[in-house]
Structure 1
Amino acid sequence: MSDFSPGQRWISDGEADLGLGTILSCDHRSVTVLFGASQETRTYSSRQAPLTRVAFGSGDRVQSAEGWSLTVDDSKEVDGLIVYIGENDQGELRELPEARLADTMRFDQARDRLLTGQVDRNDWFDLRFRTLHHHHRIEQNPALGLAGPRIDLIPHQLYIADEVARRHAPRVLLADEVGLGKTIEAGLILHRMLLTGRAQRALILVPPSLTHQWLVELLRRFALEVTLLDEQQSLAQAESNPFESGQLILASQEWLFANPHRQEQAASSDWDLLIVDEAHHLDWSADQVGPGYACVERLAKAVPGVLLLTATPEQMGLESHFARLRLLDPDRYHSLDAFREEEQHYVEVAQAIDALEKLPAGGRDTHDSVTEVIDESDSLALLDILANPESSPEQQASARDQLREQLLDRHGTGRVMFRNSRRHVGGFPERRLHLATLALPSAYRRVLRKLERDEDYLDELLIETGLDHPDVLIYPDATYRALSDDPLNAEPWWQIDPRVTWLLERLADDGEQGFANDKVLVIAHGRETAQGLAEALRVLGGLHAPVFHEGLTLVERDRAAAAFADEEEGSQVLVCSEIGSEGRNFQFCRHLVMFDLPQHPDQLEQRIGRLDRIGQRHAIEIHVPLFEASPGERLLRWFSEGMDAFAAPHGVGSELFNAFGDALAEALLDDEALEDVINETRALFENRLAQRDAGRNRLLELNACRPARAAAVTAAIRELDDDPALTRYLDQALDIFGVDSQELGGGLLHLQPSPQMLDGLPGLAKGEEGFTATLSRERALARDDVQRLSWEHPLLREMMGRILDGTMGNTALALLKHPAIPAGRLMVELVFRTYCPAPKRLHVNRFLPPTAVRVLLDESGAVLSDKVSFTGLSKNLRKVKKAMARDLIRSRHDQLRDLLTQGEQEAERELPSIVESAQVRMRRELDGELARLEALARLNPAVREEELEALRRERRELDDAIEGTRLRLDAVRVIVTVGEESR
């Protein structure tokens, strides 16, 4: 059969993707082959043609050009052509000449490729086996999806991400205080859901000022590439729905909320997850619904998973907070009055949780305070153990922990809302307030003195300047500018304002009170003030200070922020209007200058929160220049004495402003009235803090981070971080895929394409420079320009996926020299792999990832798998030239078929135990979770019935999928022994 004859079927050794070829013509010098599937014709030298004859044997399944299939039982040769004999799908005995084989037949499976002489490099086979081993291990790691992102391992963030991403279609409110990492939590949830198949498409809606920040964060921290959609890009796709242009779509809320047509297109797309940042800006009341709220409500009804982000869940009022929860579960949160009544019950639950710490020694009252809030038999049994003095300390500790978990689970909004506070998380820097009292310049003083003498002048001033009350009092530079027609106001305001001189002196001072060696963020209320201040720094101090205000485009704002952030050549100062205090993070800076003060406590906290964030390593130095005996100074007293606003965030500022804002405005010119306002504010402030600590917020804090769970997740991540196998695997994979790796020192390496690199690797386009990377989490966090390589990095996942999903390394032939084994003996190393077809959303890999079953046979059929390890065998193997490999396979064709069949039978014996172990793991986890949620649903309506039904359905589908697991041959290596003299 080695001679060429027209009609014979051959494949190209070097171009296997051409498919099955047919000999068109041949003579003693050349042979011409038509590859019908790819419509390519090749002519080769008949003596050195890189071709392998296709010959199928008993049990092989072949396809005809007409579309029917045949299971080969026997074959015969007629005029140099093979005729296959066997049964079709209907059980009928038929013959199929090889000339009538389908051109589209592929030889992707290891068996087909081996028997047709297609063999890969031996190191490819090694890499394939190791890839399967590591993939099996990683897919079962509880940290999957959380270990890869470039983040600090902050317990509360990891707990929230782990808890939420485990759920079917999670619908939650992420409401951590400013600076605690809500964006990171949302990114972690999204990243894990994408990796585990829980989600494939997500829509992310953010304020326009934050679109580029989200874009960069998702790429830099999570290696997620998103499509930033705006009207210009949408118009470019006029004939299609622009929301279908990517899997992850990021869009401006302002753009979408104002465009009904785009809302229709967004709603008509299929999404798995909706993420909405700064959700407190969505306006809703029982009487009126804002356009933004209406848009999100419509999307939330259609999208299974919803994440709402807000740092101020209640500061806009209880009604506003209810409106956020209503978006997540309108059936559960259908009545504002019922929600208010439910809130009253949370105090009792919080007291019961605190009482657990006092048992069993707390007395009858302590015991009764717990009994009042539990009525489940399992909880009462635990309480009896805890209250029994004869119980061992271990039994009491276990009962206490279980009771605390049950109370947190079954009461409050903790299942739909996660809120961590600074005092609960801890570890935040101190805030230090520095006041600089300055004399009023004459131009400002004239207005203020006239206001103090003439009560009617305020009304005249409001009309004359067009400013609002109390802006006209708090921002004297704005009043000065508005009165520019006055001949006494001819100079620019910044030339007569002593705050400018004070700032310039501090910027030049390298002493303890100066800023000379530090970055400084300056925030002013108004855009014109910020622009004028930047001009003053340039003209009077020769300082270039980028300015950040609402009049800039997003790109211009990004440039200003980047110029400030650059450590080497960046600007010392960034001047912002009020918009600079929302959304942007400047934790690398510790000096905040409030050139003036905002009126609202929330805006004050937003300003401080730009610096006081996770990652801040220094105390926050807050500098406020004040005019003596001015409205601004009185406003500061209200902030400081009325609510300790500069010391720490407290979450009740909006309520205090709503209660006393008008009275405060009237008291800005009256010290006696101001004292009354401050005293009343302080009383309400302390009352609200006491209520918060006693009720729902206490429950939320306890529920927002379960330390034991967070510690377990952190430990699992550390296990992957410190995995020594990653370095070894990476070195081997980069070499085989043709990526050059150069050590740079300090734990850094530079990856770049080699001329032989395989196409399509993330970040490594041919002709480009590549990128610098590290395996160290700490080094990656310290340098934004360095990528962190992990098992979850796109490059690693692409290489592993290409190996597991393709044919790379699924066949090999090697030589073994061993003194105890005679030359010419044959061994076959077979790697079988479990195949469990199931929808990706089930994430069956957490219970049964592709599992390797290795079978090593000698030519007599003896099983050597337990006697000879994969690693031990691989170390002693030699490579062989492909031509010799094909000759060896051809000469042992029938023997190999028999060994393949026997190996399959051996592997099948392992399958039942693999399936049983996976089912046990699945049932243990899902049955326990289902029982917990069913018990929880009886007391806490935050557990939705559709969530319970989804979990039941998931369990049934997983059970069926795992039960249907089969084995298939993934890779095969033929090993031939050689004598001492062989090479």
Structure 2
Amino acid sequence: MSDIKFEAGQRVRHPEFGEGIVVSSTADGYVRVFFPIGERQVFQDAISPLQTPTEQMLADVSGGKDRLRNAWLYVEAHALPLMDNAAAMTAARIDLLPHQVVLTHRVATASPRRFLIADEVGLGKTIETALILREMTSRGELNRALMVVPAGLVNNWHRELNEVFNLDFEVFGAQGDVTDRRSNAFAKHDRLIASVDTLKRRARVKRLKEAPPWDLVVFDEAHHLSAYKSGRKVRKTENYKLAEALRDHARDLLLLSATPHQGDHFRFWMLIQLLNPTLFKGPDDMVDKRHRLNAVVYRRTKADACTPDGSPLFTRRWVHTEAFTMSGRENAFYAKLREYLLDGFNLAKQQGNKGRALGFVMTIFQKIAASSFAAVRSTLRRRQLSLTIHEAILKDQALDIDGHLALMNEAREMIHTDHNLPRDQVGRIEVDQMLSDLKLKVIKKMDEEELAVAASSESSEVVVAEGENLAATAIAMCLPEERLRIKELLAVYPDEQETKIEKLIRALGTLWNQNPNEKVVIFATYLSTVDLLSRAIDTSYPGQGVVVLRGGDHSSKLAAERRFRKTDGPRVMVCTAAGREGINLQFSRILFNFDLPWNPMDVEQRIGRIHRYGQQYTAQVYNLVLSDTIEGKIFLLLMDKLNEIARTLGKVDEQGNVTEDLRGQILGQLNDRLSYDQLYRDALEDPTLQRTQQELEEAMSNANEARKVVFELFQELDSFSLDEYKPLANIDDSKSRIIRFLEQVAQKNKGKLIHMDDKRFKMLVRENESPVICTLDRELIQEDDTLELMGLDHPIMNQLIQQCKDYPATILGATADMGLGYPAVLTVWLIQSFGKGKEAVSHVIPIAVNSDGKRIPSVEKQYRSCFFTSPGKLSFSAKNRLSILNDHIEPTLQKELRHRAIATPEKGYSSELLAWVELA
């Protein structure tokens, strides 16, 4: 029988039951132990003592360079992600702005993390959120995160978080993606993006509550989380109820909105209640004590935004609207198209819920027509083909063989013509393959939700652009004899060059007469319009070159951007809506909006591609508008009203342009007061636009009033100061630490790091692996796309940090010769403090003491240098180490934590010993 005496509370291991804790021992050699499966009485020879990692480390301290390196790498793997300027060390290929770096640091290091981020449009709330997610992940403080966003922005968020920041989010509820049909997806998946409409259903809210809590929940466009007061009653929308449910099921909560206050103090107070219900007693208290909003609200305006050297972030911009009228033949086609749309909307209205899909299709067609007549012709032609195939299927089901064959042959003929395919055997095979694919699309059940998202002006412009395909194939509901109606409509299509194309071609000629090297960006929403534009420009100016940006993943966008950027590259970039996101075109100063999205905030997003950090000239923007179309008239009415408000307030510049801040504020408030879809749809029945004008004036007036109310309430919010950024801006030391870490871990892995020059290095992570050429210089990657931008969140860095974090405690006890002349010990601790809401904030803290327990601040200040001296002698026995730890180091650590307010009566904490280095 073993001589070991087991005591209550001691950790032990059993070969069958695993790890357990001793409850008591008996005189006859048996021990009662609590295991995960329950309490058991076992023979004491069957169990063995289990050392804690700290005990393992203290039992196995030894000298040697390898030991010092192991300990240093283990410490740095925990410490690097906690650097103050970690946000500035991201590997994402983005422009990092001072206000973004400061906000990320503030939020990531706060406790609790419950904030409203209310930066104005164009200041990068998506980037700020991604940086926060990235930094919290690096710190080990984020495992489960849920992004709740408007349906039309789901894909945008998915692309941004995954392609730019490598955050590995999944989409909930999308076809072929994560669903919850068979299991609770909220429990199975730790990083999800979901639309607010998908989540707010009762069954989904129930499943959300049943799943484990989230570390962080983010609500985008948070002003849609509304609660209203009517008399004494408070009415909470389903969106608001969802936010309440998630607030109580999440550690951290971020609300994002450029327009969080809609002019109603009660609604805004209810939004703040989601973050901190004790901050204000009510709306009046909030107005009286508005300075307290600083505790939960961050708002940066474009006036705050600046470059790292303090220069204004944005150069001036000049926006000009060029209005002109349709030709006679265009007018005739437009009138017939309008009849078709009106009949479609009327039938959709008569059919009620059954007609929703047709209403969405007509909305999409109305938007495509506002882009170009060529685009609407192309989509109508494709819809005609789908209707022909559908009719052929019905004939087949009715056993009308002749009718079926005739219609299928008609469909084949349309494919031959539209795709210019030869009528030989190869051409016929290709036509039959395309016909087969189309037949499957027609038979497939239509996703009405997808159609609704593509039709909505609240969706991102990228999603709206996907409406071309949906409108062509969504034929479950259609007009009587619609196939023949489309045929008649297309018969009056004007074959001459469109008026808008003529105007654009002429304008480009004028620009290139002045400067043949001028780079020009042209935006159009739909792919058919983009293709038309690229052909027309190539034909008129064959030497200038056109690059088309259709979309695709982030790397394909960057490739198109780089081609356009080259001095001898194409002079024109024509972009679909997909080109609006994730690319920087500030090296061009001219932008044409060939078509105008119904939501004017989308125009602002487009302008932001050239009018951004790095633009050296006045950004010149030209809006091309057909003034005798419904869309043109409404856009001009909107701009007239905006100009009128601006002139009244003295908010126009010397060129007569509405100042950018006012434009953003008014249009932002207008978004929640106006359904652009409804406005444009109703205008079809209102040729004089009298009702439309009244509705616009009322909405603009309300938006202006709301703007004033917001200004009053937010005037005591802290503005951004560059002084906050300066301590975070000096990243030279952080770069050196990253390089040193990479060098040391590569050496340990028998790889190497080779400096090519002062900015570039070649990294071989392990021997026999392919080298990667890297840089830590954010500007250099703009010039050299072969380089990898190394950062704390780069996959290589993540892999190496995790490798070091997995080192066993038995190799982390070391010795160092510091020339002290007396024995001492340096310990390095990882501390995680927890608030009432389980908020976790991490710290790395060095504690150094001599053998008498006296603290040595000089060693603590330069503790990292201890790992790069020569190995020293062993100063203590294993028993002495434990007594020094228990009697001196741990009490000193607790005092330090109280002094820093890391450990308080309201906060708990956990500690992990990262390294033990005996000094002499």
Would you call these one fold, judging by a TM-score over 0.5? Answer: yes
**In structure 2, which of residues 271, 277, 290 is the aligned counterpart of residue 325 of structure 1?**
271
The one-letter code sitting in structure 2 at the alignment partner of 1:181 is G
1:311 and 2:258 are equivalent in the alignment? yes
**In structure 1, which of residues 416, 419, 423 is the aligned counterpart of residue 303 of structure 2?**
423
Kindly state the Cα deviation for residue 779 of structure 1 after the two structures are TM-superposed: 3.6
1:224 and 2:155 are equivalent in the alignment? no
**In structure 1, which of residues 730, 735, 741 is the aligned counterpart of residue 753 of structure 2?**
741
Kindly state the Cα deviation for residue 245 of structure 1 after the two structures are TM-superposed: 3.8
State the distance in 2 between where 1:792 and 1:206 align: 24
Which residue does the alignment assign to 2:432? none
1:273 and 2:216 are equivalent in the alignment? yes
State the distance in 1 between where 2:317 and 2:829 align: 57
Which residue does the alignment assign to 1:728? 740
Residues 315 and 619 of structure 2 are in contact (CA less than 8 Å); yes or no, is this contact kept in structure 1?
yes
Which residue does the alignment assign to 1:970? 916
The one-letter code sitting in structure 2 at the alignment partner of 1:653 is L
Kindly state the Cα deviation for residue 125 of structure 1 after the two structures are TM-superposed: 1.7
1:249 and 2:145 are equivalent in the alignment? no
Residues 596 and 632 of structure 1 are in contact (CA less than 8 Å); yes or no, is this contact kept in structure 2?
no
Which residue does the alignment assign to 1:160? 103
Which residue does the alignment assign to 1:511? 512
State the distance in 2 between where 1:557 and 1:141 align: 31
Q: Normalised by the size of structure 2, how large is the TM-score?
A: 0.61
State the distance in 2 between where 1:333 and 1:494 align: 65
Which residue does the alignment assign to 1:126? 68
The one-letter code sitting in structure 1 at the alignment partner of 2:274 is L
Instruction: Within 5 Å, give how 1:616-695 maps onto structure 2.
Output: 616=615, 618-627=617-626, 635=634, 637-644=636-643, 647-648=659-660, 649-653=663-667, 692=707, 695=709
Q: Normalised by the size of structure 1, how large is the TM-score?
A: 0.58
1:382-410: CA deviation from partner (whole Å, max 9, x where unpaired):
xxxxxxxxxxxxxxxxxxxxxxxxx7633
Kindly state the Cα deviation for residue 273 of structure 1 after the two structures are TM-superposed: 1.4
Residues 140 and 845 of structure 1 are in contact (CA less than 8 Å); yes or no, is this contact kept in structure 2?
yes
Residues 809 and 971 of structure 1 are in contact (CA less than 8 Å); yes or no, is this contact kept in structure 2?
no
Helix, strand or coil for the counterpart of 2:845?
Answer: coil
Residues 142 and 215 of structure 2 are in contact (CA less than 8 Å); yes or no, is this contact kept in structure 1?
yes
The one-letter code sitting in structure 2 at the alignment partner of 1:205 is V
State the distance in 2 between where 1:726 and 1:170 align: 28
Kindly state the Cα deviation for residue 522 of structure 1 after the two structures are TM-superposed: 1.4
Helix, strand or coil for the counterpart of 1:624?
Answer: strand
Instruction: Within 5 Å, give how 1:202-601 maps onto structure 2.
Output: 202-207=145-150, 210-211=153-154, 213-215=156-158, 217-218=160-161, 222=165, 224-231=167-174, 240-252=183-195, 256-257=198-199, 264-269=206-211, 270-279=213-222, 295-313=242-260, 318=264, 322=268, 325=271, 328=274, 339=283, 345=287, 409-410=291-292, 413-425=293-305, 426-436=312-322, 440-445=326-331, 462-463=342-343, 477=373, 490=491, 493=494, 495-504=496-505, 511=512, 517-518=518-519, 520-524=521-525, 529=529, 533=533, 546=548, 556=552, 561=557, 564-567=560-563, 586-588=584-586, 590-601=589-600
State the distance in 1 between where 2:851 and 2:163 align: 43
State the distance in 2 between where 1:580 and 1:236 align: 26
Kindly state the Cα deviation for residue 123 of structure 1 after the two structures are TM-superposed: 2.2
Kindly state the Cα deviation for residue 258 of structure 1 after the two structures are TM-superposed: 8.6
Kindly state the Cα deviation for residue 497 of structure 1 after the two structures are TM-superposed: 0.8
Change (3 A) 1:611 1:135: same
Change (3 A) 1:464 1:212: closer
Kindly state the Cα deviation for residue 918 of structure 1 after the two structures are TM-superposed: 1.2
Kindly state the Cα deviation for residue 170 of structure 1 after the two structures are TM-superposed: 3.4
State the distance in 1 between where 2:562 and 2:204 align: 38
The one-letter code sitting in structure 2 at the alignment partner of 1:311 is A
State the distance in 2 between where 1:515 and 1:529 align: 25
State the distance in 2 between where 1:170 and 1:875 align: 40
Kindly state the Cα deviation for residue 647 of structure 1 after the two structures are TM-superposed: 4.8
Kindly state the Cα deviation for residue 313 of structure 1 after the two structures are TM-superposed: 3.4
Bigger Cα Rg: 1
State the distance in 2 between where 1:850 and 1:420 align: 36
Change (3 A) 1:592 1:303: same
Change (3 A) 1:275 1:534: farther
Which residue does the alignment assign to 1:350? none
Residues 120 and 812 of structure 1 are in contact (CA less than 8 Å); yes or no, is this contact kept in structure 2?
yes
Instruction: Within 5 Å, give how 1:728-877 maps onto structure 2.
Output: 728-745=740-757, 747-755=759-767, 769=770, 771-779=772-780, 786-789=787-790, 799=800, 803=804, 806-807=808-809, 809-810=811-812, 832=827, 843=840, 845-846=842-843, 849=845, 851=847, 853=849
Higher relative contact order (CA 8 A, sep 6+): 2
1:915 and 2:890 are equivalent in the alignment? no
**In structure 2, which of residues 717, 731, 748 is the aligned counterpart of residue 703 of structure 1?**
717
Change (3 A) 1:89 1:869: same
**In structure 1, which of residues 189, 194, 212 is the aligned counterpart of residue 132 of structure 2?**
189
Kindly state the Cα deviation for residue 127 of structure 1 after the two structures are TM-superposed: 1.6
The one-letter code sitting in structure 1 at the alignment partner of 2:116 is L
Helix, strand or coil for the counterpart of 1:956?
Answer: coil
Change (3 A) 1:617 1:908: farther
Kindly state the Cα deviation for residue 179 of structure 1 after the two structures are TM-superposed: 1.2
1:708-744: CA deviation from partner (whole Å, max 9, x where unpaired):
xx62354145256556454334322321133332334
When the two structures are aligned, how many residues end up with a matched partner?
Answer: 732
Kindly state the Cα deviation for residue 810 of structure 1 after the two structures are TM-superposed: 3.1
Change (3 A) 1:108 1:463: closer
Between 1:288-297 and 1:732-741, the stretch displaced more is 288-297
Residues 637 and 693 of structure 2 are in contact (CA less than 8 Å); yes or no, is this contact kept in structure 1?
no
State the distance in 2 between where 1:718 and 1:877 align: 32
1:955 and 2:904 are equivalent in the alignment? yes
Residues 557 and 579 of structure 2 are in contact (CA less than 8 Å); yes or no, is this contact kept in structure 1?
no
State the distance in 2 between where 1:835 and 1:689 align: 51
Kindly state the Cα deviation for residue 195 of structure 1 after the two structures are TM-superposed: 4.7
Kindly state the Cα deviation for residue 333 of structure 1 after the two structures are TM-superposed: 11
The one-letter code sitting in structure 2 at the alignment partner of 1:597 is L
1:938-983: CA deviation from partner (whole Å, max 9, x where unpaired):
xxxxxxxxxxxxxxxx73164x758xx798983569x9xxxxxxxx
Kindly state the Cα deviation for residue 222 of structure 1 after the two structures are TM-superposed: 5.0
Helix, strand or coil for the counterpart of 1:423?
Answer: coil
Instruction: Within 5 Å, give how 1:65-144 maps onto structure 2.
Output: 122-131=64-73, 142-143=84-85
Helix, strand or coil for the counterpart of 1:177?
Answer: coil
Helix, strand or coil for the counterpart of 2:753?
Answer: strand
Change (3 A) 1:507 1:326: same
Residues 284 and 323 of structure 1 are in contact (CA less than 8 Å); yes or no, is this contact kept in structure 2?
no
Kindly state the Cα deviation for residue 182 of structure 1 after the two structures are TM-superposed: 0.4
Which residue does the alignment assign to 1:81? none
Helix, strand or coil for the counterpart of 2:916?
Answer: strand
Helix, strand or coil for the counterpart of 1:652?
Answer: helix
State the distance in 1 between where 2:864 and 2:909 align: 30
Tell me the percent identity: 19
RMSD: 6.2
Kindly state the Cα deviation for residue 130 of structure 1 after the two structures are TM-superposed: 3.6
Residues 142 and 713 of structure 1 are in contact (CA less than 8 Å); yes or no, is this contact kept in structure 2?
no
State the distance in 2 between where 1:838 and 1:683 align: 49
Which residue does the alignment assign to 1:950? none
1:580-608: CA deviation from partner (whole Å, max 9, x where unpaired):
59766554454432223345544443443
State the distance in 2 between where 1:142 and 1:253 align: 34
State the distance in 2 between where 1:208 and 1:121 align: 59
The one-letter code sitting in structure 1 at the alignment partner of 2:607 is I
State the distance in 2 between where 1:873 and 1:416 align: 41
Helix, strand or coil for the counterpart of 1:565?
Answer: helix
